[in-house]
Structures are given as structure tokens and as C-alpha cells.
Structure 1
Amino acid sequence: MSIDAATYARLREIADQLPRIPGIGQVEIANGEIVMMMSPVRRHELAVMRISRQLNEQLEATHPGFVAHAGADLEDVGLGRLRRPDLMVFPEAILEEDSAAVYPADVLLAVEIVSKSNPENDYDDKVRDYAAMGIPLYLIVDPRDGTGIVHSQPRYSRRESFVFGDTVAVGPWRIDTGGLLTYGK
């Protein structure tokens, strides 16, 4: 569902002015609503770090000048979406710009580590949104059960499932998932 530009602009203004509430990790805009996300747990952040490290080691050879970076907003004004992937691959030079967000045309890969509290967001909503944004690759890592999926274009019609312990192809990169941990029970 896309929203009109004026509604999105209003939502973006509100999202930018929200106070930083303890325990709230990030703010997204989707489906015409502001969505406040909880701060991730340690194993979630460990997965982000380990995947980021592996990607950054390979990017110099495959995509010089690109970086696997956590902590950036992803914005598609035309779709009325503001997302904050756990990790994205994009040109490092974008971080030198003064804009508030990274734009989908610059992103090669979005990565989401599935949360305990809202897994359908990563499996349904973000699959739809990232495909609509034209992001070529979307990696879902699910520490709830030690599985994942690599989605690839066109429009994520190709899906490759894996289990923790596999070395998985994500476009031109290889991710060893053997160091990823499931959430504690």
C-alpha cells in the first residue's frame, strides 16, 4: 500500500520529532503508520556484526567502495516507506552526504535478523517493501529456529532456504552461518 506524498511527509515529520523513549530501538513508517521497534537483544546484534564482518571482507574484491553498514535509514518517498534494515550494502560515499537516509537505488542487499516479537514484519511486510523498492537481494536470518532465506530478484521470485551452519550464497558473497546463535529459550 502506497500513501500520498503529503501524508508521508507528515508522518516523516512526526517520526523525526518523536522523543527517544528508553527501550525503543528505531522508528519506521509503513502502511501509513509510524512503527516503533523495540531495541534488539544481544544475539540479534551479534548476528548483525558477524554478517557485516564477513560481507566487508568480501566487498573490496567484489564491489570496491561499498560497505556493509548497520544503523542507516532506508527511505522510499514514492512508496511512503521508511525502514531501518539491520544491515545494508551500499556505496560508502553515501555516508558522506547530508541526506537523512539511504535510497533504495543505492542498496545491493538488505539484511534483517528476525526479532522474537514481530517476525511477520521481516517475513511479510519487508519482503513486499524491499521487492517493491527494487533492492536486488534480501537476506532473512531467523535466530528463533536457526534458519534463513535469501531472496533475489526479480521481485524475490527466487528463494533459497538455509539452516545455521550452512555457507550460503548471497549474490556474489558467501556467508558462513556457523557462527550465528539461536535465541535462548
Structure 2
Amino acid sequence: MDTSRPDDDQDQQKATLLLYLQRRRADLAGKLEGLGEYDLRRPLVPSGTNLLGLVKHVASVQLEYFGEVFGRPGERSFPWLGEDAEPEADMWATPNESRDAILALHHFSAAHSDATIEALPLDARGTVPWWPEERREVTLHTVLVHVISEIAQHAGHADILRELIDGSIGRGPGDPNLGDLGAEERARYASRVEAAARAAAGMPG
């Protein structure tokens, strides 16, 4: 006979979601390790996307979604989100914003978010004032899925940026998602992909 209770199921679901949130946060922050100030901050693509800016953005996002949305403000102000801030100010770091300060904000936002998640049930209600009116009323479950998806997307951005900087990918050697290709094998693999793309497009090899 199944003796589990609905609360037990909800607690397990919440624990699973929290685990994935924590993993994606760690993936993102880990992309900063071992880099100098220039590589941390410089844009590698025309959109201006950069590693330290992604961490700054995610820290802000977490405090908004797991703070303001559920009436649990993190008691931190963000001038880069103010009405008079320049466009995309949350997506890059000024020379006066240090790596340590942004990482400290990232850790603070993670702790505050985890405290909200642990304190509230998955069906706790919140309001996202910056969403369209017809879907502003949300649950903690909805917000968890939304934020995990956003951080996973930015962790993917960070992975590509780091590869452009020094060639490192994934979580490094031993990452099961990368297979066991060595540098030479991966270069041959990339050449095969390029050749297949050119053939499909009718381009000369």
C-alpha cells in the first residue's frame, strides 16, 4: 500500500527543482574561474554578451523572482535596473564593479532564493509585476521552472563564451556530457561537421 502523502511528493519535487537550480548556478559561476579581468568582461559576440555580465544579470534575476515576487525582498538595490539606467546595464560590469562584488551578489542572491524556496510550498502564490497582466499571478513552482530555464540558457551562453576565450568546454575533463574525445579527435569531429554542412549546402569541400 502506498503510504506517501501529497506533501511528501511536493517536497520531493521541490528538492529536485532546487537541485537543478543549484547545479545550473554553479555551472554559470564556474565559467569565471581562472580568467583575468579583460576576458571576464569583454564581449565575444556582436550582442555584447560577456561572462561577468551574465553572472551579474542572473544574480539580479534571482533576487527579483524569489524576492519581490513573493514579498520577500532581498534588501539590495540595483542601480542598473533603475528607470534612469542605460540599456542592458544589468548585462555587463563597469570598471568600478569588481569581480568579487558581483560574485558576492551572486552568492547572496542564491542564498536568499534558496531560503524562499525552502520556506514556501510549491503552490505558494506570487505576483510578477513585469509580466503581462493575464499571467502575472504565479506559483513558486512556475517561478522555479522559469528561473531554472533562464539560468540554464545563460549557462549555455557562458559555455560558448568560455570556449571562444580558451577552448575549454563543459565542466572540463570527465564531463559525461562531452564524451571522451581528446583535442585531436574533437578537431577531426569539427572538420567532419564542417564538411557535412558544406556538402548539404552544395558548397565545394
TM-score by length of 2: 0.22
TM-score by length of 1: 0.23
Structure number with greater Rg is 2
